[in-house]
């Protein structure tokens, strides 16, 4: 089976490409290589027969149409996005452009090319903050609270409209917080791991009692393959890791695993509009595809920390000048010591 993967040089997309190549899928990877895209994430598959990389923007209608016509993939698996909430607060424009207009551009091209499957990779953040003990189900209302989650909810709704209006066989997945190797260090777990290992302060937003569900990235990719094979067009599937933790607990566990010290924790100004709790019911994907998460947080966290310890060169190369500027813009005003 041939897949057009968008955003396959990012964190989850590259894990998916590595897994899908191993399983014999042919892959065309379309990625713009923004700050978050990194071809080093794909070194393990770069020379594989049946793998092709194309540098380009999903907003480029001509390019996307040409690729679909040339390659005639059986399915599109759409990861490409601006993905970080903090960056969406600092500068939301790119989120609307890529996540909304880019998804629209892909949907139009997929409709014209009569694509057999369009898998749209979305997020639990579209449901907004949920009160305990509720677990979001796929039919819940969308109440996004950040420019990032609003852009993802908008793209989910565009996908839905292409199924209802044009019969494009599209499926939406909504996953919880992913973690694992190759995650860009702006995100909570790699940022805390690196700061802990380097003896720096660990910036916890607000009281740190916000709840997130943690999903090991390879479990997410297995879920996507299961949905691609056994999911029903027009449906939405939640993908949770069944590992709900307060952020402060995640940070303490990182410190315990890295030999750091709780005195490194620094409570800083909260994220504006910070959702208190996400929680997913994944009953639907369990029942319809048989998928289950296999890597517990207790197993996945040390695997992740070990990967970062073994890849100092990767870390050095992704912490570019642009990253330093982002770090200063996001944390400078929060009074964090460097």
**Helix segments in the chain, DSSP class H:** 11-22, 61-71, 85-90, 93-95, 103-112, 147-166, 188-197, 217-230, 247-258, 283-289, 297-310, 312-318, 321-331
Positive or negative CA dihedral for 202, 205, 208, 213? negative
State residue 198 phi and psi, 5-degree precision: -95, 5
Neighbours of 151 (CB within 10 A): 26
User: Using CB under 6 A, which residues numbered 17 to 46 contact ligand NAD?
Assistant: 31-34, 36-37
Distance from the first to the final alpha carbon of the chain? 48
Q: 75-78 and 51-55: which strand pairing? A: unpaired
The DSSP bridge partners found for residue 177 are 214
d(CA 124, CA 174): 5
In the complex, the smallest distance separating the C-beta of residue 318 from ligand DAU, rounded to whole angstroms, is 15
Which of 123, 136, 146, 238 binds ligand NAD (CB under 6 A)? It is 123
Annotated active-site residue in 57, 82, 125, 186: 125
Instruction: For residue 63, give the 3-state DSSP assignment.
Output: helix
The structure tokens listed for 191 are: 């940022």
Which option in ligand NAD, ligand DAU, none does residue 135 bind, with CB closer than 5 to 8 A by kind?
A: none
The structure tokens listed for 68 are: 């679909």
Burial class (CB in 10 A: 0-12, 13-18, 19+), 144: buried
Q: Please tell me whether residue 205 binds ligand DAU under the rule CB under 6 A.
A: yes
Interface mask toward ligand NAD for 144-183; x: CB under 6 A: --------x----------------------x-xx-----
Which of 26, 31, 57, 124 binds ligand DAU (CB under 6 A)? It is 124
Q: Please tell me whether residue 135 binds ligand NAD under the rule CB under 6 A.
A: no
In the complex, the smallest distance separating the C-beta of residue 294 from ligand NAD, rounded to whole angstroms, is 18
Q: Please tell me whether residue 123 binds ligand DAU under the rule CB under 6 A.
A: yes
The structure tokens listed for 90 are: 């600092």
Which of 83, 103, 244, 304 binds ligand DAU (CB under 6 A)? It is 83
Annotated active-site residue in 26, 124, 135, 219: 124
User: Using CB under 6 A, which residues numbered 45 to 104 contact ligand NAD?
Assistant: 57-59, 79-81, 83, 98, 102
Kindly tell me which of 78 and 212 has the beta carbon lying closer to ligand DAU. 212
Q: Please tell me whether residue 240 binds ligand NAD under the rule CB under 6 A.
A: no
Annotated active-site residue in 127, 148, 308, 326: 148
Q: Answer yes or no: are the C-beta atoms of 235 and 169 closer than 8 Å.
A: no
Q: Please tell me whether residue 220 binds ligand DAU under the rule CB under 6 A.
A: no
Which option in ligand NAD, ligand DAU, none does residue 4 bind, with CB closer than 5 to 8 A by kind?
A: none
* Site residues for ligand DAU per CB under 6 A: 83-86, 123-125, 176-177, 187-188, 191, 203-205, 210, 212, 247, 271, 278
Q: In the complex, which residues of this chain contact ligand NAD (CB under 6 A)?
A: 6-7, 9-13, 31-34, 36-37, 57-59, 79-81, 83, 98, 102, 121, 123, 152, 175, 177-178, 184
């Amino acid at each position: 089976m041939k897949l057009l993967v968008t955003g396959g040089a990012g964190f989850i997309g590259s894990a998916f490409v590595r897994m899908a190549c191993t399983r014999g899928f042919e892959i065309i990877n379309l990625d713009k290589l923004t700050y978050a895209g990194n071809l080093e994430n794909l070194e393990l598959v770069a020379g594989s027969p049946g793998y092709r990389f194309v540098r380009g923007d999903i907003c480029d209608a001509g390019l996307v149409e040409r690729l679909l016509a040339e390659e005639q993939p059986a399915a599109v698996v759409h990861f490409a996005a601006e993905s970080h909430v903090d960056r969406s607060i600092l500068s939301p424009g790119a989120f609307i452009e890529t996540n909304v207009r880019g998804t629209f551009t892909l949907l139009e091209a997929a409709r014209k090319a009569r694509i057999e499957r369009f898998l749209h990779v979305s997020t639990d953040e579209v449901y907004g903050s949920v009160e305990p003990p509720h677990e979001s189900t796929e039919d819940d209302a969308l109440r996004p609270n950040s420019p990032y989650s609003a852009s993802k909810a908008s793209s989910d709704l565009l996908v839905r409209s292409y199924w209802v209006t044009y019969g494009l066989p599209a499926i939406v997945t909504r996953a919880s917080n992913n973690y694992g190797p190759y995650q860009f260090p702006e995100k909570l777990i790699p940022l805390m791991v690196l700061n802990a290992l380097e003896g720096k302060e660990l910036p916890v937003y607000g009281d740190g009692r916000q709840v997130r569900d943690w999903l090991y990235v390879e479990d997410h990719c297995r879920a996507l393959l299961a949905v691609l094979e056994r999911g029903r067009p027009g449906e939405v599937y939640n993908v949770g890791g069944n590992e709900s933790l307060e952020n402060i607990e995640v940070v303490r566990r990182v410190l315990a695993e890295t030999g750091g010290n709780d005195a490194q924790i620094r409570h800083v100004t909260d994220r504006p509009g910070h959702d208190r709790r996400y929680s997913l019911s994944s009953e639907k994907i369990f029942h319809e595809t048989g998928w289950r998460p296999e890597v517990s947080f207790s197993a996945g966290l040390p695997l992740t920390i070990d990967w970062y310890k073994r890849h100092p060169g990767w870390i050095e190369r992704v912490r570019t000048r642009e990253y330093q500027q982002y770090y200063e813009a996001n944390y400078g005003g929060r009074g964090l010591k460097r």
